[in-house]
Chains A and B, each alone.
Chain A
């Protein structure tokens, strides 16, 4: 791997510009932009490559062999977060559905949900997530909205709905203003990412 090529810079580029190029790429491929996206694994691999390239360049320049090369984005672990608190009559079914969704088996998840006769808030939330993963954003929005109406206090549902409504706005995609990236957006993105880590981990 040529780290300079990965970051799109040359050995003559100044440290500041390397850092800028790195940040720009890290913003683009940040895992938060790819939540519920079927290409999330590819973005993650790209992010890893970018981090490695940045480390290599910075280590090489500071004459160190290994060690930290500055702050990094995107290394967060998503697993292990808060467990969802559902404990209703369909708990067993819903945990099966969540498992299917996490494994990317959307067909199975949808089948399990359709077969069940329950139509509670959790059902709509899970159905919304299946739709979200499939890119059926209008159906996802309706299902999430329904879940939030049925259980307004549930943060997981609320976060999912917010995510769906907002990521079109600034999750890596800003139609007319993509060139002037401001720090504000970055901070928002990081805030958002923290929230997601806490609230989205279950599913």
Chain B
């Protein structure tokens, strides 16, 4: 995923901001413990959000533990205590990261393709372990990714059809519990996936136009220039519909733990990022110098 899913820090309580950082660090440790250092390089805010939602039905937050890590070798930092939400998110991170490499290997050319090939090779063993833990999710992701690649090859002009394949991929990571909660989470993650995919496409319009890559937003609106001004409203409306569905699904979830933090992300953070991407003011933060700092 792409790092679009993050809280609006100025609206967080201090303890919520701390908690977010602790979950981010906790996830990193969970990935390292289960899959080694390699996959911790692809840690994201998106997956931190996934941990929060996956663990939201729990009551009460266990006290954080303190751990050292590669990014902070001198001082121990507080981390969320290991639990099954973190373990699940670690498995899911590895699956999604690996399939992202695979997707790049199919799409990219030149140096990027070589890098993707290298990452696929390095990540293979971890992926096999994650697949053994989540075989159903993996099967669904593979099928959706195949669909997505076919859609890209045929240069499908339907934004929804392309976004659907990507959204099914994110919906696939929801644990199969067979109850109402699974339905709610699937709906929630389907529309998160749709939103991320379309927003990412909008963000990449300039680059894809230049390089002649497949971009559903370009094809749908028949764009000749990277200027989004004219389609901004229409695009915002369709993205907002997905966000509304995310919120309505979340309202049915009965979140106990971290409810305020999750609300901040979906009610404030995601609409804010939407507007920023559409008017061109979006800046990625995080990345190398800024582990887990918002």
A136 touches B248 (CB 8 A): no
The reply to whether B267 and A135 contact each other, CB–CB distance below 8 Å, is no
In whole angstroms, what is the CA distance A175 to B243 when docked?
9
Q: Flag the segment in B120-128, B132-140, B141-149, B158-166 that touches A.
A: B158-166
Check A138/B251 contact, CB under 8 A, given A168-B237, A175-B271: no
Counting CB contacts under 8 A, is B268 at the interface?
Answer: yes
Which of chain B's residues have a CB closer than 8 A to the CB of A137? Answer: 160, 237-238, 241-242
B244: interface (CB < 8 Å): yes
A171 CB to closest chain B CB (Å) equals 6
* Docked CA distance A138–B247 (Å): 19
Number of residues in A with C-beta < 8 Å to the partner? 29
Minimum C-beta distance from B11 to chain A (A): 10
CA gap between A178 and B247 in the complex, in Å: 11
Q: Is B45 among interface residues, defined by CB-CB distance under 8 A?
A: no
Which of B183, B191, B240, B271 is in CB contact (< 8 Å) with A135?
B191
Most chain A CB atoms below 10 A, which of B234, B244, B249 = B244
Interface string of B216-247 (1 = CB under 8 A from A): 00001000000000000010011011111101
B190: nearest chain-A partner, CB-CB: A135
Inter-chain contacts of A38 with B (CB < 8 A): 183, 187
The residues in A between 1 and 40 inclusive whose CB is less than 8 angstroms from any CB of B are 28-29, 33-34, 37-39
B158 contacts across to A, CB distance below 8 A: 138-139
Task: From the candidates A28, A138, A176, name the one contacting B271 in the complex (CB within 8 A).
Answer: A176
B250-271 vs A, Cβ < 8 Å mask (1 yes, 0 no)? 0110000000000000011001
Per-residue CB contact flags for chain B residues 192-208 toward chain A (1 = under 8 Å, else 0) read 00100000000000000
Are A135 and B247 in contact (CB-based, < 8 A)?
A: no
* Assembled-state Cα–Cα distance A135/B251 (Å): 18
Which residues in A have some Cβ–Cβ distance to B below 8 Å?
28-29, 33-34, 37-39, 42-43, 46, 131, 134-139, 141, 164-165, 167-169, 171-173, 175-176, 178
Q: Which residues of B contact A (CB under 8 A)?
A: 158-161, 164, 167, 180, 183-184, 187, 190-191, 194, 220, 234, 237-238, 240-245, 247-249, 251-252, 267-268, 271
